[in-house]
């Protein structure tokens, strides 16, 4: 009996250790529970965050995670979002852009024109805005197919102006800040800092293991991640060793 008791205690201990390893300190960084969170963006004029959901919902939350509103905007597979002063710009998995008025929530669709290489293994997974253009990231495990699409909204369409090969496999979301792109890779559990002027990766940061799908940076030294398993996580830039 004594030996069984010892094995039982050891088993419980191993389970507790495994649970701690699996958590990786993530729980203390979760600020909101949002199903299938697939993209996130910081709204400067309201100091809030907008979150995209795979099932066609948008959420607006405070930077502490309080949900201010939730709205189903249609049967879309939303993969990323950019917050602008008067509208949200979402990207659908097929590359179409959706403009949603922040007051009325009226939706306008801009079909993607000028790029026909999308597939189930190589789809659009993120969006950010650089000056007047939008950058969409094409997610692919094949580094040769991993690229950005530089897109401009013109005459009712989202027109591809050019492509940039970045070589980051499984790029799931991106953010632009002060000349750099912040790109998250789900399978690699990494945050890449990519300089647009030199077209080079300047830093790689290891992330805890979670289903990262989106990234946003606010004006107060914080970085946020959308977790496809249903959470929004908040870290300080300092915690991750990022200097802006």
* 24 — pLDDT class (breaks 50, 70, 90): low
pLDDT the model gives residue 13: 39
pLDDT given for residue 145 in this prediction: 76
DSSP 209-225: SS-EEEEEE-SSSEEEE
- Is residue 165 pLDDT above 70, yes or no? yes
Flag whether pLDDT at 10 surpasses 80.
Answer: no
* pLDDT at residue number 121: 72
Q: Do strands 112-113 and 107-110 pair parallel, antiparallel, or not at all (unpaired)?
A: unpaired
pLDDT at 212 over 50: yes
Mean pLDDT score of the chain, rounded to an integer? 88
The angle subtended at Cα 82 by Cα 80 and Cα 87, nearest 5°, is 125
CATH architecture designation of domain 26-240: 6 Propeller (2.120)
pLDDT at 20 over 70: no
Question: In the prediction, which pLDDT does 51 show?
Answer: 98
Residue 18 has a CB neighbour count (10 Å cut-off) of 10
pLDDT recorded at residue 139: 79
Q: Where are the domains of the chain?
A: 26-240
């Amino acid at each position: 009996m004594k030996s069984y008791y010892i094995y039982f205690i050891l088993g419980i201990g191993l389970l507790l250790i495994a649970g701690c390893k699996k958590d990786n300190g993530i729980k203390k960084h979760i600020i909101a529970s949002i199903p299938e969170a697939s993209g996130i963006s910081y709204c400067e004029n309201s100091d809030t965050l907008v979150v995209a959901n795979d099932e066609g919902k948008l959420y607006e939350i405070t930077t502490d995670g309080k949900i201010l509103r939730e709205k189903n905007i249609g049967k879309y597979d939303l993969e990323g979002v950019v917050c602008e002063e008067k509208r949200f710009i979402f990207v659908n998995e097929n590359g179409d852009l959706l403009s949603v008025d922040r007051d009325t929530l009226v939706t306008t669709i801009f079909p993607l024109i000028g790029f026909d290489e999308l597939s189930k293994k190589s789809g659009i997974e993120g969006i950010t805005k650089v000056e007047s253009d939008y950058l969409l990231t094409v997610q692919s495990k094949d580094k040769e197919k991993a690229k950005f699409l530089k897109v401009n909204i013109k005459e009712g369409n989202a027109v591809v102006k050019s492509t940039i090969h970045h070589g980051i496999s499984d790029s799931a979301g991106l953010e632009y800040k002060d000349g750099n792109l912040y790109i998250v890779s789900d399978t690699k559990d990494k945050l890449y800092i990519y300089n647009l002027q030199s077209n080079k990766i300047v830093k790689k940061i290891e992330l805890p293991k979670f289903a990262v799908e989106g990234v946003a940076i606010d004006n107060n030294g914080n970085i946020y991640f959308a977790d496809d398993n249903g959470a929004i996580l908040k870290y300080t830039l300092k915690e991750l060793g990022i200097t802006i």
